[in-house]
Amino acid sequence: MAAPTSIARSEHNLSSRNIDGDALKVIRRLQQNEFETYLVGGGVRDLLLERRPKDFDLGTSAHPNQIKKLFRNCWIIGRRFRLAHIKFGAKTLEVATFRKKVPPETDTERKAREAESAARREAASRDGTKPRRIIPRDNTFGTAEEDAFRRDFTINALFYDASNRSILDYVGGMEDIRSRTIRSIGDPNERFLEDPVRMLRAVVLAARLDLSIDPAVSAAIRKHRGEIVHSSPARLVEELYKVARSGSSERIVRDLSDTGLLRHIAPELDRTRSDALWRSLGALDRYRRRFDDSPPSLCNAVLLGSLVSSFTVIERPRRRAAREPLSKRPLEVALGVLPVARRDVERLRQIVDLHGRLTGAPLSPRAKRTLTHRSAFADALTWIEIHGDNPELAEQWRAEAATQPDALDDAPRPRKRRRRRRRRGPRSGEGGGEPSAGGETPSDG
C-alpha cells in the first residue's frame, strides 16, 4: 500500500474555521473511537479553491452500523451502497464508508452471479416471498487509498485530516488544484466507459469552477461522447437540473455543445443554440448569483422552463393563443429521450398560466385573491423575476398577497362526507328479495 503525500497546514490554504462545526464534531467523535475519518471530495476541493462548499461530506473506515451506534441522530439509507445520514436540525451530513473500485466481472463471475440470482428467485417463488436484491459488487468496503483511486478526478480525491489539519493526497490532486486542472484518475478512456456521466461532470466542473481540462481528458470526451446515451435517463435529467441551478448554466451548455455531448443528451437544446436560449440561461444565472450566500430554492419546473423556453410556446405566455397549445403539446419530448417528470410538466403549465394572468389586464379583487392562493403562485413570481419584462411586478404581487386573508379562510370548505349506509337483507318474517345492487348479501352471522 502506497503512503499518501501528507501536506502540512503550513503548505495549504484550507482553514478549519471554514468547515462546518457539526462536521468537525462528527470527525472527532469517529476518530476518538479509532475510526479513520476525513473530510472528503468536493468540500475539500472547494475550500482549497476558496469557494463556499455546498456540502461537507465525510469518509470513514467505520461501517454504517458502527456509525449508527455512535450517533443517535443517524439514519442509514441506500440499497446499492449504504450511507449514514447524520441530522442536525434541518442540516444533514453524509458519512460514507471507504469503498474500493471493483474490477469488471469476468464471464465466469457473471454466469455464477446470474445462476445465484435465478436460484434466489426460484426459492422465493416456492416460499411465496419476495426475492432479496443483492448487489455485492457495488457494496464493497475498502481503505482510504482504495477510496481515493476509485474517484473520478484528482481534485476530488483529497482528504482533510482534522486531527492535524493536514491534507492527504494519493493521486496528485494538490498539484492539479494549484494548476487549476481537471485530470482523470487513471486512463480517462477507461474511466469514461465505466461511467459516461463523468464526461458531463468534467465539463460542468471546468465551467463552474473556471478550471482547464487536461488534454487527455478532452480527447477522451470527444472520442466517447456518444456513450453518454447509455447512462440512466433519470440521472441525466437530474444532472441537467444541477446545471441549471449552478449559476453558470449558459457557459456549461455552450461547453457541452462544443464538446458534442449536448447533441446526445438533449438534441433540441443543441439544435437551438439561439440568442433566445442564451438570454434565458443568462437570466437564470444572474438570478442565481444574486443569492450566492443563500441561494433560493428553484423548483424543477422553473428550471425546465428556462431550458426549453427557446423552442416551445412558453416563450410568449401572455397571449392566450400561445398558452393553449402548451396543455396539448407533450412537453415530455422537449428534452429528447430524457424523461421529464409529469409533476414538473404540470407545474410548468400552472406557472405559464399564472404568468400570463399576473402580467396581463387589471384584475378584480376577487380574481387577485384567487390567484394569490394558487399553489404555483410563488413559483410564478420567481419566473417573473427571472424572465419577466418587469421583474418589479413580482414584488408588487407579493405585497398584494400580504394584504389578502389567509388562504384557509377563503378556501371552499370541504363537504362533509356522508357515511354510506350498508343495505341490509330482508328481516326474518319479511318477504325475500334480490341482493342489493352492490351485490351485498346478508351476513350469516
Enumerate the active-site residues.
55, 57, 152
In the block, residue with C-alpha cell 410556446: 313
From the list 333, 327, 370, 364, the residue with the least C-alpha distance to 348 is 327
248: which residues sit within 8 A by CB, 6+ positions away? 207, 208, 285
d(CA 42, CA 23): 14
In the block, residue with C-alpha cell 399576473: 358
Calculate the alpha carbon distances from 11 to 8, 180, 192, 417 in Å.
Answer: 5, 17, 33, 71
Q: Give the DSSP H or E segment for 289.
A: helix 275-290
320: which residues sit within 8 A by CB, 6+ positions away? 356
**Could you tell me whether strands 91-97 and 58-60 are parallel, antiparallel, or unpaired per DSSP bridges?**
parallel
**Could you tell me whether strands 91-97 and 83-88 are parallel, antiparallel, or unpaired per DSSP bridges?**
antiparallel
Tally of CA atoms within 13 A in the half-sphere of 151 that contains its CB: 24
Measured CA angle at 90 (ends 235, 288), to 5 deg: 55
d(CA 322, CA 313): 6
DSSP-assigned letter for residue 141? B
